[in-house]
């Protein structure tokens, strides 16, 4: 298949007039437009007037479209994958919550089985284990009754149960046993991320020395930044870790996003949705981690008033940061190559380069998704389009 006449965000994240040849789910070749013969291709899709971006990667999402990772069913993950693909996401990490150990085991086993079976939309590329190893003071929307101390034994079991698919574990470094846990678990090619924590600067630095490499939804669910006590946020920014930001216009003020952009740089920021099952649905009552969540005006909160994840898509977060003054090319890095590098899949995902997976998003000038390609498979609206049915693009 040949995708032609679009403006393509190339491998160095600059827009260029390129045509993309896709074979067997991979980007086979990139051609300068009008410099070769296209008659050799049986399937040609004219994308004049559109942009092609690398597929988005959401490394922190609990649910969407009425489903949640902790539902522990194939139906839940498959429908999440379909909804995400319709919104430009081509890969994601189903993210677990602080619940009973058995519930977490069920979710991990289901993710493994779902990966083995395959989904119809965005590709599942691993697991983000958010909790239960958190500070009670900074639990946020995590259910306090399920919080507990870190266990290397449990994670070893979960890693095997999941088919060795754990990519990220979020943890508060100040709780008992956390340092030993970080030191040991980080050896297993698992990214340790600092989260839901009141750790001071020195404790955070020690965790980083022991192997922590990432920060979960920076500023949210953690002690604040103070000029005399820089704390966890100061340590993370001072040490150059990669950081997640929830850029829905609710979790963080635009000025904070711009400040982190200036301090951390475009290559260290990862935009996440942190979405829960209400994403894509109307205001109502939902559940998250065994707690009732009330969504009003698109904002999800626990009964105590804590923000409980988001109800937005990664595409909406991307639009927001561009509105807030971030360069589009840099903003796209934050949802593509940056998360790919964090979880170690950048050799085959995250940018438009020869040999990588044909994970591509076609957008119009209103930033609406027209097509999403997941390993060469096309999804538009609610219906997959087989190669033989390719036709001129329309608004999804």
- Buried-exposed string 63-101: b where 16+ CB fall within 10 A, e elsewhere: bbbbbbbbbbbeebbbbbbbbbbbbbbbbbbbbbbbbee
Q: Which residue(s) pair with 357 in the sheet?
A: 26
Catalytically active residues are 274
Q: How are strands ordered across the β-sheet holding 285-288?
A: 285-288, 291-296, 299-302
Write down the residue that tokens 């994403």 correspond to.
Answer: 279
Write down the residue that tokens 């058995």 correspond to.
Answer: 102
Sign of the alpha-carbon torsion through 149, 159, 115, 58: positive
Distance between CA atoms of residues 33 and 320, nearest Å: 31
Q: How does DSSP assign 266-299, residue by residue?
A: TTSEEEE--B-TTTTS-S-EEEETTEEEEEETTE
Nearest 5°: CA angle at 45, between 43 and 50? 165
Nearest 5°: CA angle at 358, between 29 and 241? 110
């Amino acid at each position: 298949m040949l995708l032609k006449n679009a403006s393509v965000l190339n491998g160095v994240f600059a827009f260029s007039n390129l045509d993309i040849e896709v074979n067997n789910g991979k980007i086979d070749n990139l051609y300068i437009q009008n410099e070769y013969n296209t008659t050799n291709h049986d399937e040609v899709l004219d994308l004049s007037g559109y942009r092609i971006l690398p597929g988005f990667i959401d490394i922190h999402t609990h649910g969407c479209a009425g489903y949640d990772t902790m539902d522990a069913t194939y139906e839940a993950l498959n429908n999440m994958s379909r909804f995400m693909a319709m919104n430009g996401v081509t890969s994601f990490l189903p993210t677990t919550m602080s619940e009973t150990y058995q519930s977490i085991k069920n979710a991990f086993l289901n993710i493994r089985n779902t990966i083995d079976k395959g989904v119809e939309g965005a590709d599942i590329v691993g697991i983000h284990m958010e909790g239960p190893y958190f500070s009670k003071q900074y639990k946020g929307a995590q259910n306090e009754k399920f919080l507990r101390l870190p266990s290397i034994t449990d994670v070893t079991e979960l890693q095997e149960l999941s088919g060795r698919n754990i990519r990220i574990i979020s943890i508060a470094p100040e709780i008992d046993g956390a340092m030993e846990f970080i030191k040991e678990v980080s050896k297993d090619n698992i990214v340790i991320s600092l989260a839901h924590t009141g750790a001071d600067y020195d404790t955070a630095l020690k965790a980083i020395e022991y192997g922590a490499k990432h920060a979960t939804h920076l500023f949210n669910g953690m002690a604040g930044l103070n000029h005399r006590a820089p704390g966890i946020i100061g340590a993370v920014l001072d040490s150059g870790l990669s950081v997640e930001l929830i850029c829905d216009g609710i979790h963080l003020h635009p000025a904070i996003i711009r400040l982190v952009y200036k301090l951390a740089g475009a290559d260290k920021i990862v935009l996440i949705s942190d979405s829960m099952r209400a994403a894509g649905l109307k205001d109502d009552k939902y559940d998250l981690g065994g707690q009732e969540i009330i969504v009003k005006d698109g904002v999800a909160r626990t009964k105590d008033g804590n923000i409980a994840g988001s109800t937005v898509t990664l595409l909406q977060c991307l639009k927001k940061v561009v509105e807030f003054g971030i360069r589009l090319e840099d903003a796209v890095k934050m949802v593509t190559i940056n998360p790919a590098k964090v979880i170690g899949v950048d050799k085959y995902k995250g940018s438009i380069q020869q040999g990588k997976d044909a994970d591509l998003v076609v957008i119009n000038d209103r930033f609406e998704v027209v097509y999403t390609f997941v390993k060469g498979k096309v999804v538009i609206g609610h219906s997959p389009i087989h190669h033989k049915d390719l036709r001129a693009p329309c608004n999804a």
